[in-house]
Structure 1
Amino acid sequence: MIPVPVGATAELVVVVTPEMTVRFGELGPVHPVYATYRMAEHFEEAGRKLLLRSLEPGEAAIGRSLSVEHLAPAWVGDMVQVTAECVELRGNRLTCACRAVAADGRELGHGSTVQVVLPQQALDDRLRRP
């Protein structure tokens, strides 16, 4: 892996769609706002976007941990900017601080992700169903 410098960032811009609102399989629609689990997905995607620049041939990465604190709502049609910033690279683990901000500047949430870089073959072996 090419080292990711502390402070490096990647951004993801999304527009909240009806599919990104709070809906549970068994319970159905709950709230017509940006779901926490979608914010988590976008934090992971932004972090992966940052990491992909540094993977070398034969390397792969997998998520290890994720945290999200959802602070404010966003509604269908709202634009959300998600940023992942490298705060630590220790060995083969990349830790990113993540933040979601609405177009009007409101902080919607923050959290962190940790991804682990492995040889592609090692990851394939781990993911093979027994």
Structure 2
Amino acid sequence: MKPGLELGNTAAITAKVTPDMYAQFEGQIVHRAYSTVSMVYHMEWAARQIILPYLEADEEGIGGGVTAKHVSPTAGGDTITATATVTGLKGRAVITAVEVHNGKQLVGTGEVTQYVLPRSEIEKKLASEQAK
């Protein structure tokens, strides 16, 4: 990794809640509200923004874990902001605390762990899994 990634670094993404982000299963809408699945996606996307500037050409991030707590609903058409903050750097692991807000209230909290590995190592692991 390139130098400069440190505790406290932050990154944020914003998104407008659209029908494809509604709570749904097998194409059936349960609620016309921001889904937990979409919230987790946005948490991971915000956390990824932190590592992108620090990846070397031969490196990539890979997910290592997500925890999430969805605490408030958000209606379609509202805008959410997911903000990730680096809380831990352990070896190849980058650990971030993430909060999602909708401009009115806290929507969710969680933690995203990513591992920064050589692309070749990731490809080897994937090939090994495919061979099983």
Q: How does the TM-score come out when normalised to structure 1?
A: 0.94
Cα RMSD after superposing both structures: 1.1
Deviations 1:67-118 (A, max 9, x none): 11000000110010100100011110000000000122x0000000000111
Amino acid of the structure 1 residue aligned with 2:10: T
Q: Which residue of 1 aligns with 2:116?
A: 117
Gaps of 5+ in 1: none
Give % identity. 32
Q: How does the TM-score come out when normalised to structure 2?
A: 0.93
Are 1:42 and 2:37 an aligned pair?
Answer: no
SS in 1 for 2:125: helix
Q: Which residue of 2 aligns with 1:74?
A: 74
CA–CA distance in 2 between the matches of 1:41 and 1:127? 22
Going by fraction, where is helix more abundant, 1 or 2? 2
Q: Which residue of 1 aligns with 2:21?
A: 20
Give the total of aligned pairs. 128
Q: Which residue of 1 aligns with 2:65?
A: 65
